[in-house]
Amino acid sequence: MASLSVPDRRGLPLIGAPNVPRLLRALLPALSLALVLIGIAWLNPRAISYFGFTLMLNLAVPIALATIAQMFVIAGNDLDLSIGAFVGFVGCVTATWLRDVPLLGIVTLLGCIAVYAALGALIHLRNLPSIVVTLGMSFVWQGLAVLMLPKPGGKAPDWLLEIMRLKPPLVPFPILAAVVIAAVAYVGLMRTSYGAILRGSGGNALAISRAGWSLLKAKMTLFACAGLFGVLSGLALIGTTTSADANIGNGYTMLSIAGVILGGGEFIGGRVSPIGAVIGALTLALAASPLLTFMRIPPDWQVAANGAILIVVLAARVLISRKDAQP
Amino acid sequence: MKGTLAGVLARPWIWSFIGALAVWLAAITFTGGTGAGGMLTAALSLAVFTVVVGVGQMFVITLGPGNVDLSLPANIGLASAVAMTVMAGDDQRIAFGLLAALACGAAIGTANYLLIWALRIPPIIATLSASFVIQSIDISYGRGLQIKPPPGFADFTNIQLFGIPLLAVLTVLFMIGAHVMLQRTIFGRSVLAIGQNMRAARLAGIAVNRVRFATYVLCGTLGGINGALLAGYFRGANVDIGNEYLLASIAVVVIGGTSVAGGKANIPGLFGAALFLVLLLTMLNTFGVSAGVRLLLTGLIIVAVITAAGGTKRER
């Protein structure tokens, strides 16, 4: 029935007969970002400027980094429910030790990445559900953050403030940063041979292990990458807010998961898209506050806006996939 | 006799009770024996709330890998606000308030499954998106809500019979009911069958979608009733009242010996695990540690227990 409209699916899509649903699906994250931007431009044309974007996307950089961290974990069929608390802890380290005793700060942050790699090893070796382990770890990070900074305070290191205050010509800094983040993650995960192995460990672990690759090493690498991007997210966050608070990253767990899914990532099977994830994070960052502010909707509904966007995009995806007539 | 003892020890749920006992002993050793009974009473009262949502979460997790309800905290928060508004502090309206909380929870469960079914997305994402929306509804509806529960209802949640909270007695009856439902009814056996192999269950003629739908509604409803009970016990609704029940509900299921891979559930262990978690927090409180250390140790102990309890053996 469907074979009439669908081109030969065994080979590559033929030139001149592109797979329209698949193309649409890939463009969906960009389309939703465009829609949000059009909404903002319509409500407040002045926001679409160098200065406007710098302001509106201020907090998008740490969200994008946390989303990429989550994406690495999701690529291996796991879920990290501790990334928000982790970003908060990194923030507390950044605003205290990294400024006062840089060496101690750097060692602590590197140690955090090692802890993430160890978590990956633990989850793989004992075959534990990542949801429970990371939920437990979220308490650990939160506890450490509270111990470190019982009251909001601290101050970002000067070099970090300098970086986050960069004013590059023509393109606002957050957009430039987002492009760089997306490019690095894309090349690393989608264009290197080991990146393919990493995604394969989520897609078909058995095949990867039969082919002689170590699943343990793959899981540890994925989690270490998540830890690295989590650290970067905490740094960027403190560079923007200039001081820290133990609860500063709490919303990031849910935002990062939503960003990955919004960007076209699948929850199972190692199907993720780094560029899509960054676009998803930008969409959430823009839709959550600037768009609502311009629409005069009270901040109470910000979280709901994120949920609604997620549901609408997923619904659109289902509509497109139905046309794809997948078996 | 030796065979009986070994048989008991081989049951996975016994370990959660042993853990709870060990934590309790550690706590009363520290206090020198004072407050041992009071500690148990308090633990039983608080464990009730974890058990109620834990049972709901257990049914959902038993449906198979990927099935989990992340909307429970938001659900509990909204239901507590709804129950308190409907009761309006009036003893005559307790029943209406409870019904409203049940309906609110059931509606959330229905919405969750509609998302899962219509959007064909993993339940984690569906319940997560739903919880975003529910949370916002709760914030805008329940903020600044300062309605006290009716005195009759607040007393009911605090009644003790010889040091044993009435709610704990009712919860034991509820668990026996849940156990019978899981092991002896068509619905419970269908849930287990779907968790073991969804395709096989469908081919065997089980109405898979209907059973999954009923399971999510059951979990939502239990979340709703839990919200009402919590609001009664803590004398008022609160947006954050359900926050700790995300970790708690999943952790008690896993510690209690239910398989995260689905298809294998364990009700007795759930009760032991809930006692263990609550007593653990009580113990840390008696030690007088700071909030940071308490969070840190709770997290570390949960990760350690999960690691020791171990995941299921790798299949295939």
Q: Which residues sit opposite A244 in a β-bridge?
A: A153
Determine what percent of chain B is predicted with pLDDT higher than 70.
Answer: 93
* Subunit contact B303:A136, Cβ cutoff 8 A: yes
**If contacts are CB pairs under 8 Å, which of residues 213-232 in chain B contact chain A?**
none
Question: What are the chain A neighbours of B297 within 8 Å (beta carbons)?
Answer: 143
Q: What is the mean pLDDT of residues A292-300?
A: 76
Q: What's the maximum distance between 2 C-alpha atoms anywhere in chain A?
A: 69
Q: Would you call B146 exposed, middle or buried from its count of C-beta atoms within 10 A (0-12, 13-18, 19+)?
A: exposed
Q: What is the mean pLDDT of residues A304-320?
A: 81
pLDDT at res. B3: 55
**If contacts are CB pairs under 8 Å, which of residues 39-68 in chain A contact chain B?**
none
pLDDT at res. A9: 46
pLDDT for residue A43 is more than 80? yes
The gap from C-alpha A261 to its chain's centroid, in whole angstroms, comes to: 9
pLDDT at res. B311: 58
CB atoms within 10 A of CB A171: 12
When CB atoms are compared, the residue of B250, B295, B313 closest to A143 is B295
Q: What is the mean pLDDT of residues A287-292?
A: 75
pLDDT at res. B164: 86
For every residue of B90-114, DSSP letters joined together read -GGGHHHHHHHHHHHHHHHHHHHHH
B298 touching A, CB under 8 A? yes
Q: What is the mean pLDDT of residues A59-85?
A: 93
B137 token code pair? 């509804």
Instruction: Please tell me which residue, B9 or A327, carries the higher pLDDT value.
Output: B9
Question: Which of A129-138, A263-272, B221-230 is most confident?
Answer: B221-230
Instruction: Please tell me which residue, A256 or A22, carries the higher pLDDT value.
Output: A256
Instruction: Please tell me which residue, B256 or A282, carries the higher pLDDT value.
Output: A282
pLDDT at res. B240: 83
Q: pLDDT tens digits for A177-208?
A: 999 999 999 999 999 999 999 999 988 899 99
Q: pLDDT tens digits for A129-147?
A: 888 899 899 999 999 999 9
Q: What is the mean pLDDT of residues B24-31?
A: 84
Q: Is the ipTM of this complex over 0.90?
A: no
d(CA B219, CA A70): 27
Min mean pLDDT across A34-38, A59-63, B211-215, B311-315 is at B311-315
For every residue of A194-218, DSSP letters joined together read HHHHHHHHHH-HHHHHHTT--HHHH
pLDDT at res. B136: 87
Question: What are the chain B neighbours of A317 within 8 Å (beta carbons)?
Answer: 119
When CB atoms are compared, the residue of B303, B310, B313 closest to A133 is B303
Q: Is the distance from CB of A146 to CB of A83 less than 8 angstroms? A: no
pLDDT at res. B215: 96
pLDDT for residue B312 is more than 60? no
Instruction: Please tell me which residue, A308 or A192, carries the higher pLDDT value.
Output: A192
In angstroms, what separates the C-alpha of A167 from chain B's closest C-alpha? 35
Q: What is the mean pLDDT of residues A87-95?
A: 95
pLDDT at res. B11: 65
Q: What is the mean pLDDT of residues A310-317?
A: 82
Q: What is the mean pLDDT of residues A100-104?
A: 93
In terms of CA atoms, which chain B residue is nearest residue A141? B296
pLDDT at res. B10: 60
pLDDT at res. A268: 72
A244 token code pair? 């820290």
Q: What is the mean pLDDT of residues A158-173?
A: 88
pLDDT for residue B212 is more than 90? yes
Min mean pLDDT across A172-181, A227-236, A297-306, B84-93 is at A297-306
Q: pLDDT tens digits for A205-216?
A: 999 999 999 999
Region of B311 (left: φ > 0; alpha: ψ -120 to 50; beta: rest) is beta
pLDDT at res. B315: 40
pLDDT for residue B72 is more than 90? yes
pLDDT at res. B316: 34
CB atoms within 10 A of CB B313: 7
Q: Is the distance from CB of B108 to CB of B222 less than 8 angstroms? A: no
> Which one of A132, A247, A318 would you mutate to disrupt binding with B, by most B Cβ within 10 Å of its Cβ?
A132
Confidence of residue B34 (pLDDT cuts 50, 70, 90): confident
When CB atoms are compared, the residue of A79, A127, A145 closest to B311 is A127
pLDDT for residue A325 is more than 70? no
In angstroms, what separates the C-alpha of B312 from chain A's closest C-alpha? 7
d(CA B179, CA B267): 6
Q: pLDDT tens digits for B141-197?
A: 877 777 888 888 888 888 888 878 889 999 999 999 999 999 999 999 999 999 999
Phi, psi for A212 (deg, rounded to 5): 100, 10
pLDDT at res. B73: 92
Mean pLDDT of chain B: 86
Confidence of residue A58 (pLDDT cuts 50, 70, 90): confident
